Amino acid sequence: MSQISYDKIPVQSLRKITTLGELKASGYKPKSIKQEMRDNLIKKLQKKQNPFDGIWGYDETVIPDIERAILSMHNINLLGLRGQAKTRLARMMIGLLDEYIPVIRDSELNDDPMNPISWYGKEMIDEHGDHTPVQWIPRNERYTEKLATPDVSVADLIGDVDPIKAATLKLQYSDEKVIHFGLIPRSHRGIFVINELPDLQARIQVALFNILQEGDIQIRGFKLRLELDIHFVFTANPEDYTNRGSIVTPLKDRIDSQIITHYPKTIEVGRKITEQEALIKPDQETRIYINELAKDLIEQIAFEARTNEYVDAKSGVSARLTISAYENLKSSAERRSLINSENKTHVRVVDFAGVLPAITGKVELVYEGEQEGPGIVAHDLVGKAIRRQFVQYFPDPEKVRKKEDNPYKKIIEWFGEGNEIDIIHDMPNAAYKKLLSTIPGLSVLVEKYQPNIKEDEKYFFMEFALHGLAEYSMLSKKPLSKGMLFKDLLSSMFTLPGADEGIDDDEFLK
């Protein structure tokens, strides 16, 4: 029976096979892991199925490269900065494996019943022949992942002589049965992933040469030739090549395809990733409303960080920043609603103060950034994100600054008369709306340039307009421990430190 006929046998029927003889009678023919993945990828491509569903932004770059590598039956190195879904891509390759494969029962090396490589597998067939017991292992058990750390040893990955086994079984050290196999031989007929490959010591990387090129291993001088059948996937950060370690040149030469990953290239792609990965609790979904602009601002922060002079670009800015920031933004609004006993609330711009902890721990700063301090840099990134998005919704303040029909004129004049407002973090909804409504021209500005937004979103845009004007140096914005103070820019330049404490918060909490 041909392989094609075998492929068409239902999985339920195959799993009823329990002996080598039954397996032979079914028409089973061995297939290498790389051939198996290639065949399954071909089926998916022919059916117009995406084997990496849920990975956004790589449709025209990374995913086609991976598919080409698998069709070429290549080992792969995914090279990219942190938070670029390298490990997730590797794990999703499990979906290109057959649902089940047969192995000799209790074989630690997943011996193919038709082509065993271990002493155990060979002895079982010598002893039982066609009655050799067979079991079926699912695809998820054929994936092994190891994080490369400096303490990883050759014994961990490949194996070593086990003196305890030798003593227990009363065997000589020259007997192959005293070998304890490492993770790589135990991944025979499966996918083996090494994350952060450059962190492996050079001498450990050298131990991988034969496995990649010849498919065999050597342990403590044993004359073994285990013809391992493994699909290798490595991940590496280019920063590691200079800072912590490097991939030795002969090993790089043996990895067939190196695929470069990247960060989202658009706000829209970034939002898809963030909304897919963020852990939003069911009660937050019903209690908290977050508008489209707030979601864009979250993504814009990451885009600003990746080009900011204070942030180390070589280290990268992980997608985990936006995911954590999105979760914190929702939680900031939720906390306020709980404090004020409100069933529902909308995210506000002032809630972005709760996003700062998600930024400070996820960006590596250059020397100048360290001098400024992570908190100040995080504030700066949020401000730059607001500035960038502001002109998408309102006229550019720099272009209308000196025009007679400046749409911001009434707002700026009101603050110029000595008025100021303090938007505190925990302000109830009614007080928040009342406060913003006291500013002449602010509501009219939003109604003119954003006429189609919902009523509740209107107040977010009103506050957003204040933040935007402050970022364009038309107002003064001062962060306080409990909120944000807005006042006239000129008067703030001449105010002595500590001379103004903002408006009385209690006035707007009544």
CA–CA distance, 123 with 130 (Å, rounded to integer)? 13
Question: Which tokens is 199 given?
Answer: 């962190």
- How far out from the chain centre does Cα 34 lie? 26
User: What residues have CB less than 8 Å from 316, skipping those under 6 apart?
Assistant: 81, 82, 83, 84, 237, 239, 263, 306
Q: How far apart are CA 136 and CA 212, in angstroms?
A: 27
Spatial contact of 475 and 489, defined as CB atoms under 8 Å apart:
yes
Confidence class for position 508, pLDDT limits 50, 70, 90: very low
Provide the token pair at 335.
Answer: 């906390």
Instruction: For 280, list phi and psi in degrees, rounded to 5.
Output: -105, 125
Give kind and range of the element (H or E) at residue 103.
strand 100-104
Query: Is 170 or 144 the better-scoring residue by pLDDT?
Result: 144
- Residue 317 is predicted with a pLDDT of 92
132 pLDDT more than 60: yes
Residue 205 three-state SS:
helix
What pLDDT, in 10s, does the model give residues 278-309? 998 888 888 999 999 999 999 999 999 999 99
Q: How confident is the model at residue 241 (pLDDT cuts 50, 70, 90)?
A: low
- Beta strands 179-181 and 159-161, pairing class: antiparallel
Distance CA 330, CA 284 (A): 7
Strands 143-147 and 190-195: parallel
Break the chain into its structural domains and give their ranges: 3-260, 263-390, 394-510
The token pair that represents 332 in the structure block: 């900031």
279 in Cβ contact with 330 (< 8 Å): no
The confidence score (pLDDT) of residue 201 equals 87
- Can you tell me the mean pLDDT for 228-240? 88
Place of tokens 């292992």: 137
Query: What are 283's two structure tokens?
Result: 């009660």
Q: Which residues pair with 234 in a beta bridge?
A: 77, 194
**What is the CATH architecture of 263-390?**
Orthogonal Bundle (1.10)
Say yes or no: do domains 3-260 and 263-390 share a fold. Answer: no
Identify the pLDDT of residue 209.
Answer: 83
Domain 3-260 has CATH 3.40.50.620: no
Which residue type sits at 220?
A: R
What average pLDDT does the chain have?
88
CB proximity list for 395: less than 8 A, separation 6 or greater: 407, 449
pLDDT of residue 444: 96
| Whole-prediction pTM | 0.85
Predicted local confidence at residue 14, as pLDDT: 73
